[in-house]
Structure 1
Amino acid sequence: MKKILCFSALALVFSFNMLGQNWVTNFDEAKQEASKNNENIVLVFQGSDWCGPCIKLNKEIWSSSEFKKLSKDHFVMLKADFPRKKANKLSKEQTAQNDKLAELYNNEGYFPLVVVLNSNGKVLGKMGYEKISPKAYFDKLTSFEPLL
């Protein structure tokens, strides 16, 4: 009985890891991974603990199994978070990097802001929160990609 429970628990953890969105927080790593895999970068500016539309975007799109499945081998997901609560405070290095990203790609200070970049960091398109399905959101993100 213990073996069955252990196996079930491991299978559950493994299945969550398979569906888990792999978020990168380092811009250089995101560019390297995107270049290596011939993918674009989805840079998300969010206030994870204070911005209502950011929280909705996370819940309705980023956390959905449908979006995770669609984006898994298509995008490198890069998060630039700007939390306000002390409990969620980022390291000085991460805060500095996020500030630099905001200076480059979000100098208007919009939240949430989703920026699609190529592997060199060139902006292909921008959008915010929209109350649409994960598939429709994915389709909008891919619509920014240049036709080959």
Structure 2
Amino acid sequence: MKTLLLAACAATLSLGTALAGGEGWTDDFEAAKKQAAAENKDLLIDFTGSDWCGWCIKLNKEVFSHDVFKEGVEDKYVLVELDFPKDKSKLTEETLKQNAKLKEVYQPKGFPTILLADPQGKPYAKTGYQPGGPEKYVAHLNELQESKVARDEAFDAASKAEGVEKAKALVAALGSMKLADATLASSYSDTIEEIKAADPDDETGFVKKIELKEKFAQFETELNKYGQNGDRDAALKLVNETLAEDEFGDPEKQQITFIKAMILAEKKQFDEALTTLDAAKAIAPDSKLGARVDSFKEHISKSQAESKAPKTEEKKDGE
């Protein structure tokens, strides 16, 4: 009876620990970093939605579940799965908190997002689903390793330079990885501080660029909060205040102006919305967003006409 109880407990403890990637993966990030450092490997981090993300499921089925993949990466990477399932019972409370924190750090823009990172957890390359099966995926990862080589060579060059030249070398190191600015800001904050110290007048323009990206991300976060609450007035106030500060470049300014037009349309202030769309297009007529403005104007004009059309009364039974 004692043996049966122990077996039942072991089975219970194992529930929810099976990872979508299968054998060879871990969801313990800190343990993975220690293992990577001890074994002189890098981290392969998979941001996935195991029970809802079609491309994630496809990547697991076509690539990660195959021995060819596991054998191809076993000497180079510790495999880390950061899952964001709809069914939260699949993960422990500790893992849910860990994954949420890491999502804030690495800022994945979609799922699946695959990051390659050094043993300290600093990413140097990003990818996602790739067709072609496990052999082709392993070859793709091998190509991405060149980003780490380029990063480290640039860091080495920076260590031998001073002043603005050092800042330029560090900026080149960060740029070589082709990572999102938000990821760089959170993962390479020490490097950004070095750039600031080496280039206090910001001759490279890099610091201002990063700060504006962070500010725009804060704007989006606050705007989304108002959107979730359905508070259009607060959202419009935020947009107007942000435009009045006039700190962003044309791409961001056009996007914010476009958002303002959409809020005005939702508030049924159609004439003002149409005028604001014209202003958005004028900022950068040839951009992707600028090219879409006319189609949005058509939709808003149609909504405006429908709002002015007289409503027909429903006929009563027998009429």
Q: Aligned-pair RMSD on alpha carbons? A: 1.7
Mapping of 1:50-65 within 5 angstroms? 50-65=52-67
Aligned to 1:48: 50
Asked if structure 1 preserves the Cα contact closer than 8 Å seen for 2:36 and 2:78, the reply is yes
In 2, the alpha carbon distance for the partners of 1:141 and 1:106 equals: 20
Find the residue that maps to 1:130 and give its secondary structure. Answer: coil
CA contact (8 A) 2:55 2:129 kept: yes
- Greater Rg over alpha carbons, structure: 2
Structure 2 distance, partners of 1:94, 1:70, is: 27
Q: What is the 5 A alignment of 1:1-148? A: 21-85=23-87, 88-108=89-109, 110-145=110-145, 146-147=148-149
Secondary structure of residue in 2 paired with 1:98: helix
Stretch deviating more after TM superposition (133-142 or 122-131): 133-142
Contact 2:44–2:79 under 8 Å retained in 1: yes
Q: CA deviation at 1:143?
A: 2.1
| 1:10 alignment counterpart | none
CA distance in 2, matches of 1:23, 1:54: 15
Distance, in Å, in 1 between the alignment partners of 2:140 and 2:118 is 15
CA distance in 1, matches of 2:67, 2:50: 20
The structure richer in helix per residue is 2
What is the TM-score normalised by the length of structure 2? 0.38
SS class of match (1:56): helix
SS state at 2:46 partner:
strand
- Between the aligned residues of both structures, percent identity stands at 39
Q: Which has the higher strand share?
A: 1
Q: Which residue does 2:271 correspond to in 1?
A: none
Q: Tell me the secondary structure at the aligned position of residue 144 of structure 1.
A: helix
Contact 2:42/2:76 (<8 A) preserved: yes
Structure 1: which 5+ residue stretches go unaligned? 1-19
Residue ranges of structure 2 left out of the alignment (5+ in a row): 1-21, 154-319
Deviation at 1:107, TM superposition (A): 4.5
Residues 85 and 23 (structure 1), Cα distance of their counterparts in 2 relative to 1, 3 Å cut: same
Letter paired with 1:119: P
Count of residues paired in the alignment: 127
Runs of 4 or more above 3 Å deviation? none
Contact 1:66 / 1:134 at 8 angstroms: preserved in 2? yes
Matched residues in 2 for 1:32 and 1:142: separation? Answer: 22
Corresponding letter in the other structure for 1:90? L
